[in-house]
Amino acid sequence: MLSLIWAALKRRKARTVFTFLSIAVAFMLFSVLAAIRQGLVGQLGGVSASWLNTYNRTVQGGLIPLDYTDSIARVPGVAAVSALREIPGTYVRTPAEPVTVFAAQSESIFNVFADYRPSPGALRAFRNDPQGAIAGPALVRRMGWKIGDAITIHSNPLRRDGRTTWHFRLDGIYAAKVPSHYQSFLVVHYGHVNAALPAAQRNQASQIAERIRDPRRSAEISRAIDTLFTADPVHTLTQSQEAEAVANIRQFGDVSLLVLAVGATVFFTLLLIVCNTLYQSVQERLTEFAVLRTLGFRSRRLVLLLLGEALALNLSGAAAGLLGGYGLTQLMHAAVASVLWAFGLTLAAVFTGLVIAFAISLVAAGIPLPRMLRIRVPEMLRGV
């Protein structure tokens, strides 16, 4: 049977090649669309309603006074609080690659993000080392760091001594079970960073992170936190990480719909192409099917033959397209990761693609099937 399927595909080589390429290109496009969609919905991965973030509402991207932390810690339902000062920078040896440094109050960040907690030994070393740093596993891999390495980060803001370099020492690596996007931070001591900043920049945070006891109360607690500071010059905006991610996805809402619409159009067009190819192929081979019936092939075998042909064409084209799509998304990743950090082709998307290819095969084989099964063998053999 395999030789018959292969022979049928080779019968019109050019037609088979063009159809194969159509399928491959369609599935390559599907891979990219699926990667974009993953980039959108993947932002929800690893986030939780248990974690809240408080930002400056008065000035977008502005700083928050550090003493807000103590007030927030007293809000009922808040289990842990950590002020974070973000220092965007680059590692001096790889200036093209950004590194996000979070200066946190002692190890409080690991009380908020318990899943990130490094080993007790690493935490002890960090606690006793003012210049210490705990890095995410992905960042360590990317930079090739080892425990004990001196890490120099080039950054803004300027230090009070006018320099733009920060010196840290790697004391440990935080837990690897967090989603990949969260594996690339460098956590350092707030006190060390704060002391080096100009007076006007000191005692402030980029954000305050909170862990709450009951995620179902996230909206209520967020409101309670923001209410604390309504009389202060800097108002706050608090929301759960989950709500933050959902809001981000909503910004891309139309893009997501567009991705689905384009995908559906591509596959519908592909279905027409494959149906046309198989219908023509069956129409040209009705006499051959009559000969096979004469030789003793049952209808069921002819159905399998046609289905095998459709599957061979579609699945090979889809596999080639998905493989090419994987390569393409890998190439695109660096360019889009800053906006869609979860961008990438997932195994689930590959599986979905193969299921779609299978479904197209069934439909494409199903359309010429009645024509093939209705043939009157004596007439076909006479060439009627």
Partner 1 sequence: MRNLSSISTLRNAQAHSAEPLLSLKRVTKLYQRGSEVVEVLHGLHLDIPRGDFLALMGPSGSGKTTLMNILGGIDRPSSGEVLVDGQRIHEFSDNALSDWRARHVGFVFQLYHLLPALSAEQNVALPLILKNLAMRERQQRARAALAVVGLEAHLKYKPAELSGGQQQRVGIARAIVTDPPILLCDEPTGDLDRRAGDGILELLQLLNSEHGKTVVMVTHDPHAAARARRTLFMTKGVLSQEPEA
- Judged by beta carbon, residue 108 or residue 277, the one nearer partner 1 is 277
Q: How far apart are CA 358 and CA 356, in angstroms?
A: 5
Which amino acid belongs to residue 381?
L
Asked whether 106 and 189 are in contact (CB, 8 A), the reply is yes
Nearest distance in Å: CB 14, partner 1: 14
x/- site string to partner 1, residues 256 to 295, per CB under 8 A? -------------------------------xx--xxxxx
Of positions 299, 335, 348, 355, contacts partner 1 by CB under 8 A: 299
Regarding 3 and contact with partner 1 (CB under 8 A), the answer is: yes
- Judged by beta carbon, residue 16 or residue 108, the one nearer partner 1 is 16
Whose tokens are 């009645």? That residue is 370
x/- site string to partner 1, residues 360 to 379, per CB under 8 A? -----------------xx-
x/- site string to partner 1, residues 74 to 103, per CB under 8 A? ------------------------------
Element (H, E) at 262: helix 253-284
Size of residue set near partner 1 by CB under 8 A: 24
- Judged by beta carbon, residue 253 or residue 378, the one nearer partner 1 is 378
- Judged by beta carbon, residue 162 or residue 383, the one nearer partner 1 is 383
Nearest distance in Å: CB 282, partner 1: 14
Nearest distance in Å: CB 32, partner 1: 36
Of positions 148, 296, 331, 347, contacts partner 1 by CB under 8 A: 296
Q: How far apart are CA 305 and CA 302, in angstroms?
A: 5
- Judged by beta carbon, residue 162 or residue 296, the one nearer partner 1 is 296
Of positions 279, 297, 326, 358, contacts partner 1 by CB under 8 A: 297
DSSP reduced 3-state for 132? strand
Nearest distance in Å: CB 317, partner 1: 20
Nearest distance in Å: CB 310, partner 1: 17
Q: Which residues have a Cβ under 8 Å from the Cβ of 329 and sit 6 or more positions away?
A: 31, 32, 35, 343, 344, 345
Neighbours of 132 (CB within 10 A): 20
Stretch that binds partner 1, among 6-14, 131-139, 148-156, 244-252 (CB under 8 A): 6-14
Stretch that binds partner 1, among 3-11, 53-61, 69-77, 273-281 (CB under 8 A): 3-11
Of positions 1, 114, 264, 334, contacts partner 1 by CB under 8 A: 1
Residues in the chain: 384
Q: How far apart are CA 263 and CA 36, in angstroms?
A: 12
Q: Exposure of 188 by Cβ count < 10 A (0-12 exposed, 13-18 middle, 19+ buried)?
A: buried
Asked whether 339 and 43 are in contact (CB, 8 A), the reply is no
In Å, what is the CA distance from 103 to each residue of 27, 88, 273, 369? 44, 11, 57, 67
Q: Which residues have a Cβ under 8 Å from the Cβ of 11 and sit 6 or more positions away?
A: 281, 284, 285
Regarding 127 and contact with partner 1 (CB under 8 A), the answer is: no
- Judged by beta carbon, residue 297 or residue 358, the one nearer partner 1 is 297
Q: Which residues have a Cβ under 8 Å from the Cβ of 2 and sit 6 or more positions away?
A: 308
Stretch that binds partner 1, among 2-10, 25-33, 198-206, 217-225 (CB under 8 A): 2-10
What is the helix, strand, coil percentage profile of the chain, to 5?
Answer: 60, 20, 25
Interaction site with partner 1 (CB under 8 A): 1, 3-4, 7-8, 10-11, 287-288, 291-299, 301, 377-378, 381-383
